[in-house]
Structure 1
Amino acid sequence: MATPTLDKVSSPGQDSSHLVTVTFRIRRFNPEVSAEASWQDFEIRIDPKERVLDALHQIKWENDGTLTFRRSCAHGICGSDAMRINGRNRLACKTLIKDITEIKDGVATKPVLVEAIKGLTVLKDLVVDMDPFFQAYRDVMPFLITKGNEPTRERLQSAEDRERFDDTTKCILCAACTSSCPVFWNDGQYFGPAAIVNAHRFIFDSRDEGGEQRLEILNDRDGVWRCRTTFNCTDACPRGIEVTKAIQEVKKALITRRF
C-alpha cells in the first residue's frame, strides 16, 4: 500500500519542532472506480493539537484532491462532518489528534482510522446518503403544532416547562447517534434515536398540541419499541444529549399517555 508523505510547509524561520508524524488510514470508496471499498494510508506532519478535520483538509488540499467528505461550519454546530474515527462516531471538527493517538518521539504509534458512519449507504469516501435519516426526522413532525386561531400575543412558557425538554433541543442532526445504533444497522426502517429525540423535543413542549399524533407515529413497529437500550446513542452524541433517557421517556408517555 502506497503511503504518500506530506510535510507541512513552514515559512522561513518558523519552528516546526511541534509537528508530529501521523498516519491517517482512510476507508476510500468511489463507485466510478470500484464496487469495493479499500483502505488508503496518508502519512502527514501536523500539530497534534489540530483536529481530525484539519488533517483531512491537509490531505485533500495538498495530497489527494479526490478525497471526499462533508463539512460546513467546522465548529461543532452544523453536524455535517460526523464520521467513524478509531471505531467511534465523532465530529471531525471536535476531535483533537492528540486525544485519539499516542505520540512517541514525534511519531504516532498507531494509525488513525477514519471511515464513513454505518447504517447509511456510502456515496463516496466519507459521504453517506442522509435521505433516509432526514425522512425519519420529517416523519415525526418536528415543528410546533397548535389548534385554533393565530394568537394575538406570544405563547408564554415558564422556565420549568422549558427545562422539561431543554436537553433534546441541542440536537444538531449529525446522525452520530442513529448510525451508532445496532438496530438501525440491521434494519434501516427503524426511526432511530435522532428522530425520537426530535419528537421528544415537541411532545414535552407545553405549547404543543400534537403530542398524541407523534406518539402514535412512534408506536409503529419501526418506532420507539425497537430500541434495545444499548446506550450507544448516548455515548456517540457530540452534544452530550441523554438520548437513551429521552427514548425511555417517550416509551413511558406511550404507556401512561401523560406528557
Structure 2
Amino acid sequence: MSTAVMDKAEADDKAAASHLITVTFRIRRFNSEISDESRWEDFAVDVDPKDRVLDVLHKIKWEIDGTLTFRRSCAHGICGSDAMRINGRNRLACKTLIKDINPEKPITIEAIKGLTVLKDLVVDMDPFFQAYRDVMPFLVTTGNEPTRERLQSAEDRERFDDTTKCILCAACTSSCPVFWNDGQYFGPAAIVNAHRFIFDSRDEAGEQRLEILNDRDGVWRCRTTFNCTDACPRGIEVTKAIQEVKKALITRRF
C-alpha cells in the first residue's frame, strides 16, 4: 500500500473516530443458572450518536460479552422481536437512535415487564401468543369456498386499517399495568387483533370474538391509561381500538 493511500486511510479513521462518543449501557442481566436474582451491569462503549440501540447491543455481544442474550431478527422494525424497556419505556431497539435517548447519562436496558424473564432481555412469549390465538386472529366465513376474490370497498377496508399494522412485538401489552398485575388479561395486542377481524366486512365471527372478549379477563379490564398507545412502535391507536370493541359489545353494531 502506498504512503498516500495509508495516509488517507489513517485520516479517514481519525475522521470517523471524531464522531464517536462514549456511552454507558446499564443492562439488567438475569441467568437462572447463576442466580435467582437479576443484577445490573454497565458497559462503556464508543458509538456514533446515529447508531441504533440494537447496533450497540451487537457491539457488546460481539466484542465485549458474548453471553449477553436478546432477541432480534429483521432489525428493521417489522418483526417486532427486539422490544425491550429502554430508559424505562417500551421501544424497539432497532428503531431507537442513541442521540434520541440522552446518551450523556447511562442508558438503561431491561426486559419488557409482565412476562417471565428467561435470560437477560429474553422473555417467555407463550402467554402473549396464547392470548393472540384465543381471539381467533383469522378470517372466518361460512358456505362453499369462493371461486373469486372476496371484494371489499375502500371504505370498508379503512374501518380496520389501523389495526392491521400490528407486528406482535408485545410492547403495548407489556406496558399495561393491568397485565403486569394479572397475566390472565388478554392484553391490548390480542384485542387489537380481534378488532382487525371484528370490523372486517368479510368476516362472519364477530359475535363469537366479542363473546370471547366479554370474559372477565377480556376487554372490560382495560383502564384506559393510554400506555399501550404510547408504547406502540407502529403508531396504532390502541386505546381507541379497545374502546371501539367495548362499544360494539354494548350496541352489537360493528
Report the TM-score, using the length of structure 2 for normalisation.
0.95
Match of 1:3 in 2: none
- Counterpart code for 1:159: A
1:203 aligns to 2:204 (yes or no)? no
Q: Name the CA distance, whole Å, in 2 between partners of 1:31 and 1:257.
A: 48
Match of 1:105 in 2: none
Match of 1:219 in 2: 214
Match of 1:51 in 2: 52
* 3-state SS of paired residue (1:90): strand
Aligned mate of 2:244, from 249, 253, 256: 249
More helix by share: 2
Match of 1:6 in 2: none
Aligned mate of 1:168, from 163, 169, 190: 163
* 3-state SS of paired residue (1:40): strand
Report the TM-score, using the length of structure 1 for normalisation.
0.93
RMSD: 0.7
Distance apart, 1:99 and its partner CA: 0.2
* 3-state SS of paired residue (2:224): coil
| Residues 158-206 of structure 1: per-residue CA shift (max 9 Å, x gap) | 0000000000000000000000000000000000000000000000000
Aligned mate of 1:114, from 99, 109, 112: 109
* 3-state SS of paired residue (1:42): strand
1:24 aligns to 2:25 (yes or no)? yes
Task: Please tell me whether Structure 1 or Structure 2 has the larger radius of gyration of its CA atoms.
Answer: 2
1:126 aligns to 2:121 (yes or no)? yes
1:159 aligns to 2:157 (yes or no)? no
Distance apart, 1:109 and its partner CA: 2.4
Match of 2:135 in 1: 140
Q: Name the CA distance, whole Å, in 1 between partners of 2:167 and 2:19.
A: 34
- Counterpart code for 2:67: T
Q: Which runs of 5+ in 2 are unaligned?
A: 1-8
Q: Name the CA distance, whole Å, in 2 between partners of 1:57 and 1:12.
A: 25
Identity %: 88
* 3-state SS of paired residue (1:245): helix
* 3-state SS of paired residue (1:138): helix
Distance apart, 1:59 and its partner CA: 0.3
Q: Name the CA distance, whole Å, in 2 between partners of 1:80 and 1:69.
A: 9
Q: Name the CA distance, whole Å, in 2 between partners of 1:26 and 1:124.
A: 12
Distance apart, 1:12 and its partner CA: 3.7
Q: Name the CA distance, whole Å, in 2 between partners of 1:153 and 1:240.
A: 34
Aligned mate of 2:187, from 175, 181, 192: 192
Distance apart, 1:152 and its partner CA: 1.1
| Residues 12-40 of structure 1: per-residue CA shift (max 9 Å, x gap) | 43121000000000000000000000000
Match of 2:93 in 1: 92
- Counterpart code for 2:38: A
Q: Which runs of 5+ in 1 are unaligned?
A: 1-10, 102-107
